[in-house]
A and B are shown apart, each in its own frame.
Chain A
Amino acid sequence: MAARGFDHLLPSTFEERGATVPFTTPILADSRVRKDWRDRLEIVIGQFSGGPGAVVIPWTAVAEMISLTTHDVLLHEEVLTKLAIDPYTVRMAALEVAKSGLAGPEVVEAATKSLAADEEAKALNQVILIIKVIEEAEPTQAKALMRDVMSPDGQERVREALFAIADKINLDAKAFDDRLSELGTATYAVGTPWSPTEGRLRRLVSRLREFSTSIKEWASERLSEAADQAQFTVEMSNHTLKIATEVLGKFDSLVESPRAIVMQWDTKSAEVRALATRLSWLIDGWEPLIETWTAAVDESEQIAALESIVPLLPFIPAKEVDPDKDDKANNDLFGKKRRWVKMNEDWKTGEPDPEIVQRLEFLKTRAT
């Protein structure tokens, strides 16, 4: 049965929903980039009309139709140049533009830190997977190697250890090093459960859980429209968390045995990558909402935060949920979401509202 008549507006796949682009122009705050049927980029703007459904326009027309901030002029160009249409490439494009300084020095600082953290996480994830292989033959040595795994020297020793024991455990050390390094790079954003530092996406899932719990507690003792909005936010986040937890569970059980992945490289590595990609799509768009809630200190700020969070809640596309278990819940949530919309442009001038731009820039300083 149709969910309040809006289910036809729900996109089928993540690719069709598009990837969130962290623009600072308020009207584009929940916009997404995707490819059209002719493989050209287009933008999906959720808050453009204020009614149900979204407005879709060719990517190249954005700068002519909307008064963009200078930061967004560059981001718009960068997305087009890099053909960034998934959460990973959009994030990379956004971090590159953030470093330009057009959103302020604090955003530059945050982006530089994020990029450095990414490089560290890649290196760490590669050796973490190698240690798991070593553990099968030399558990004591693996434990010792783990202690020093955060330092470049320690990471070098892990590789040396792999080559040293290769014959003993009957494997081609070079192939293992190459493939696990490749896998480590492709999946560093999720990381492994036994890593000393959580992968970015894994951390975001944990933070989404905390966000949901915090809002649930907040809503449980209140009666107001804000409490309804909070309750809806909890439903949306729990719906995402349910699927994200399943994906993470599958990912973790596969990476539990890196050796098996290397042995059946074509099938299993593709499976692991697909799960990491799926998690990145699931969590796409949640981080700024979590930061908005976290930054709200008193009740008034929390109410205002909820008002800005609800229209931006990322819904899950129809074909990305289990049709037997989650289909109805998904359609219902999508229908409810259309109740809360508002415009964010200074009606007098058509210019981006500077206060809202400042808030969006603040969120960029908190993005990981």
Chain B
Amino acid sequence: MSLAEEGVPESVESLLMLGSTLQLLPDEKFLAVIDKLSIVAQMAPVAAIFEEARPRMRVLRPQRPRNLQRLLCRPFEDLFEARSLPAASDSLIDRKVIAPLWKHLETTEAAAVRTLQAIYKKTPATDPQKNFEISEQVWRLTARVLTKAPIPDVAPEVSSLIRDIMASAMPIETFKQKYPLRPLAHFGDTIFALMREQLDALAGVTTAATGYLVAIAARMASPTELLCWLREGGRPVPPILERYALAKLTDTINQFDQHMVQADPENLAGRAQELLSVLETADNATSGAARATVKGQADAVKIKVRDALKEQIIDVAAPGISAALTNDASRDSLLAAEGYARALAKTRRSAAKVGLATATDSAIQSVRRNCIGRIEDLLKPTPPSDNPAADYAKTRAQVFQSVRIIELVDGASSGRDVLADAQRRLKNLPR
């Protein structure tokens, strides 16, 4: 059946002819085409185009179309982005599932879907409360439908996961309203208290807790933290959640591997810090065979992190900074020096975890010594000049460049000590 026969406007059909050339369009036209195509976004040829366009859409942020499918997906939309995670196929939801899921709903609950669609059409986007009430009805309806029969042509475990998430959609959305930031870096006592309350309320609702936990885990920077919390509280850990958390951990490790090659020093140090902190929680989060797997992964990755930090930051920061801080340093050279200084300071926070504490401290002290040496050179008495004011200004600027590097690499108090001494001596210079 052609798109036109399926009721797709001709203009949309002709837009599909664009295919890969869509990426070549300027932003404004690209967004206009996306807007037209969004009405049939779930159809196979359009879905493929959207897949290709998604990275650019993330940057341009086109106005999202309003439809019931979007409301339906909200409780599990965080699991979409994790699609490429290794070895976690049953805990991930592919966007392609939306079309068969919606068709299943329309087939089994045609009248209810029509009614909800009619109400939704009349509700403005600017009434979030009313929209939420409609969403609630859609989620209840979907949970009911999926309890009776799974989605045809979709893996049963994926259908079950969607059913469980739908059954716990209200607490999931309440959680998101209260803590909308994503990914959530660390769960403190307040968040865990809310989760405890919500899980207790779900206790009688078959497997809803599983759906709830997987959906919440998808909002966490480190889902293994959730496993730790469940184990410590004596709560059961659903196997699907453990698989998801471990897959996310493997993905974080893989990302670090890819990132290591192209990252600038500051970014690399930041990623290493994140990764090492994730590994810490992962060790306590797992049990049995999974624990051995995680330990193996963690040991291997720690060696990689150690090597990367040593080769790309610790060994090169001090000479890199010295080379950048020349008397006529350009803005870019100064920024490069700052990047090294920040990277070294970040490395200090995680160095002990990979046995690099001494090496990092030594590199920091080396940068500090070099900068102080440079300040000494700059403040040495010089022969009288024709333009003492200009010379003073230049010397002061160069002294402050070194002070800043000390501050970035060794902290504000270290920078202040050097600044105080430098200011006192600058006062003695002719100007």
Contacts and interface: CB of A to CB of B under 8 A. Distances in A.
B148 interface: no
Interface string A291-309: 0000001111001100100
A223 B407 contact: no
A341 B197 CA distance: 25
Interface in A184-231: 220-227
A300 B128 contact: no
A102 interface: yes
A101 B401 CA distance: 6
A289 B345 CA distance: 28
B368 interface: no
B133 to A, nearest CB: 10
A234 to B, nearest CB: 13
B19 interface: no
B334 A70 contact: no
B361 to A, nearest CB: 15
A332 interface: no
B411 interface: yes
Given A70-B412, A102-B400, A105-B335, A220 B407 contact: no
A104 B334 contact: yes
Contacts of A70: 400, 403-404, 407, 412, 415-416, 419
Contacts of A349: 411
A58 interface: no
Contact of A351 (B125, B176, B400, B413): B413
A68 B413 CA distance: 8
Contacts, number: 85
Interface residues of B, number: 36
A139 interface: no
Interface in B334-379: 334-335, 338, 342, 345
A67 interface: yes
A67 B414 CA distance: 11
A273 B321 CA distance: 49
B178 interface: yes
Given A70-B404, A106-B335, A227 B128 contact: yes
A349 B183 CA distance: 26
A221 B334 contact: no
Interface in B378-400: 396-397, 400
B182 interface: yes
B342 A354 contact: yes
Interface string B318-340: 00000000000001001100100
A100 interface: yes
A225 B416 contact: no
A224 B177 contact: yes
A194 to B, nearest CB: 32
A223 B125 contact: no
A73 interface: yes
A126 interface: no
B400 A101 contact: yes
B262 interface: no
Contacts of A335: none
A89 B183 CA distance: 41
Looking at A102, A226, A307, A352, which has the most chain B CB atoms within 10 Å of its CB? A102
Most buried by A among B61, B178, B415: B415
B180 A224 contact: yes
B181 interface: yes
Contacts of A100: 396-397, 400
B397 A101 contact: yes
B404 A354 contact: no
Interface in A62-106: 67-70, 73, 100-106
Contacts of A178: none
A182 interface: no
B187 interface: no
B181 A300 contact: yes
Contacts of B420: 73
A7 B55 CA distance: 49
Nearest to B64: A221
Contact of B181 (A103, A109, A303): A303
B252 to A, nearest CB: 17
A96 B253 CA distance: 45
Nearest to B179: A225
B408 interface: yes
Contacts of B126: 220-221
B169 to A, nearest CB: 14
A358 B407 CA distance: 12
Interface string A253-276: 000000000000000000000000
A358 B58 CA distance: 25
A55 to B, nearest CB: 20
A224 B412 contact: no
25 contacts: A25-B412, A69-B407, A70-B403, A70-B412, A70-B419, A73-B416, A73-B419, A100-B397, A101-B400, A102-B400, A102-B403, A109-B331, A220-B125, A222-B128, A224-B178, A224-B180, A299-B180, A300-B181, A300-B182, A303-B181, A307-B181, A351-B413, A354-B342, A354-B408, A358-B342
Given A223-B128, A304-B181, A354-B342, 6 more contacts: A73-B419, A73-B420, A101-B400, A103-B404, A106-B331, A351-B411
Interface of B: 58, 61, 125-126, 128-129, 131-132, 176-178, 180-183, 331, 334-335, 338, 342, 345, 396-397, 400-401, 403-404, 407-408, 411-413, 415-416, 419-420
Interface of A: 25, 67-70, 73, 100-106, 109, 220-227, 297-300, 303-304, 307, 349, 351-352, 354, 358
